[in-house]
Chain A
C-alpha cells in the first residue's frame, strides 16, 4: 500500500533556530502534499497545500515566511519552521495523495513532534 515516510519523528530545538521536516512518498508519486498541525486533543489544522514544482498555497492565518514549504520532486516535500519559538511546539503531520485523483484518500506520515525550548 501507499506509504508516506516523515522524518524526524521527534525534534527538540532551541528558540530562534530552524527545523526542517521531510515528507516522502515511498511507493507512489504525489503531485500534491498537505501539511497539518495538531494540538493535543484537537483536530488536524491544515496549514498549507504543497504542489510539486510550484509555490505552496497557505491557509489563512499561516505565516508563509515562517513555515517554508518546498516540493521539489514528486516524492518529497519539506517543511522548514524558521526562527522557531516555543509557541511553534506542536505535532506536524504531512499527507500525500496519489497523482491523478483529487478526491482519493490521503496517506499520512506518522508525524513530527516539535518541541522548542
Chain B
C-alpha cells in the first residue's frame, strides 16, 4: 500500500538558518506532491505543489525538490524565522484520478530566535 514518511522528530534550528524537511514515499508513483503548513488547532494551509516532471519549485523563501527516482521530496525554508515554526505536511495524490490527497504525519519545525 502507499506509504508516506516524514521525520516525526521535531526539527529545531536557529533563526536565519535553512530548514530542510524530508518526505519519502513507497509503493507509489504520484503525479504530483504538495506541501502544507499546519499551526496548532488550525487546518492545513497550502504552500507549494510540484509535479513529477519538475525537479524544483520555489516560492519566496521556500524551495521544494522532487526526486522520483529516490521517491523523495525535500522542503527547504531559507533564512528561517520564528514565525516559520509550525508543522509541515507533505501530501501525495491518491491512486486513480479521485483527487484524494494522502498526508504524511508531518514534521514540526521550531525556529529559535
Is the Cβ of B41 less than 8 Å from the Cβ of A113? yes
Category for how many chain A residues contact B: 20 to 34
Known contacts A44-B103, A46-B100; A111/B41 CB under 8 A: yes
Category for how many chain B residues contact A: 20 to 34
Report Cα–Cα, A46/B104, bound state, in Å. 11
Interface of A is mostly: strand
A93 at interface by CB-CB < 8 Å: yes
Is the Cβ of B106 less than 8 Å from the Cβ of A109? no
Is the Cβ of A32 less than 8 Å from the Cβ of B99? yes
Given the complex, which residues of B lie within 8 Å of A75, measured CB to CB? Answer: none
- Most B CB contacts (10 A, CB to CB) among A6, A34, A103, A109 go to A103
CB-defined A-B contacts under 8 Å, sample of 21: A6-B43, A34-B100, A43-B103, A43-B104, A44-B44, A44-B103, A46-B94, A46-B101, A46-B102, A49-B100, A93-B43, A95-B43, A97-B99, A102-B99, A103-B49, A105-B49, A106-B34, A106-B44, A107-B46, A108-B43, A110-B41
